[in-house]
C-alpha cells in the first residue's frame, strides 16, 4: 500500500512540474514582446535590463514608443530618455529612487507604483538602459 501511494505521489509531482520548460519560454516571450526590435545595440547590460523589464510589471504602464491613445498609462521609455538626457549620475540616482519609491506629478496625475522589492543595482541597470533610448 505504501509503495502504491509513493508511486502515485511521485507521478503527481512529476505531472505538476512537467511544465517547467514552457514556463521559461513564456518568460522569454514576455521579455521579447516588451523589448522592441528597433532598440539600440544590445550589450550584456541591456540584455539583463530587458529581461528585468519583461519579467516585471513595467510594461503594464510603459512602452518603448508612444502607443495609441490610452494604451499606456505612463510615459514611453523614449520620452523618459529625452526628458532626462544627458544621463548624469545624479539623474540616474534620482530615477532609481523614483522607480523604487514610486511617485507622481512628473508625468501626470497617475502615480507610479513603488517597487520596494527591486534591488537598487537592478533598478539602476533598467534606468541606464532606458536612458540609452534617446532618439
Q: How far apart are CA 113 and CA 101, in angstroms?
A: 8
pLDDT of residue 109: 84
Q: How far apart are CA 97 and CA 100, in angstroms?
A: 5
| pLDDT tens-digit series, residues 71-83 | 568 888 988 999 9
The distance from CA 42 to its chain's CA centroid, rounded to whole angstroms, is: 16
More confident residue, 44 or 125: 125
Band of pLDDT at residue 89, cut at 50, 70 and 90: confident
Band of pLDDT at residue 41, cut at 50, 70 and 90: low
Residues, the chain, total?
A: 135
pLDDT of residue 125: 94
Q: Sign of dihedral through CA atoms 43, 46, 50, 56? A: positive
Domains of the chain: 42-135 (1.10.760.10)
pLDDT of residue 34: 45
Q: Which helix (H) or strand (E) holds 20?
A: helix 20-34
- What's the whole-model pTM score? 0.63
Amino acid at each position: 500500500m505504501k509503495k502504491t501511494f509513493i508511486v502515485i505521489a511521485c507521478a503527481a509531482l512529476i505531472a505538476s512540474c512537467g511544465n517547467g520548460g514552457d514556463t521559461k519560454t513564456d518568460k522569454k516571450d514576455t521579455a521579447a514582446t516588451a523589448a522592441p526590435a528597433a532598440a539600440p545595440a544590445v550589450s550584456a547590460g541591456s540584455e539583463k535590463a530587458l529581461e528585468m523589464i519583461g519579467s516585471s510589471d513595467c510594461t503594464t504602464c510603459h512602452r518603448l514608443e508612444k502607443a495609441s491613445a490610452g494604451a499606456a498609462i505612463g510615459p514611453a521609455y523614449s520620452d523618459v530618455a529625452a526628458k532626462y538626457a544627458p544621463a548624469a549620475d545624479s539623474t540616474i540616482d534620482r530615477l532609481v529612487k523614483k522607480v523604487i519609491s514610486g511617485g507622481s506629478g512628473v508625468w501626470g496625475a497617475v502615480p507610479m507604483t513603488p517597487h520596494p522589492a527591486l534591488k537598487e543595482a537592478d533598478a539602476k541597470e533598467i534606468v541606464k538602459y532606458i536612458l540609452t533610448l534617446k532618439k
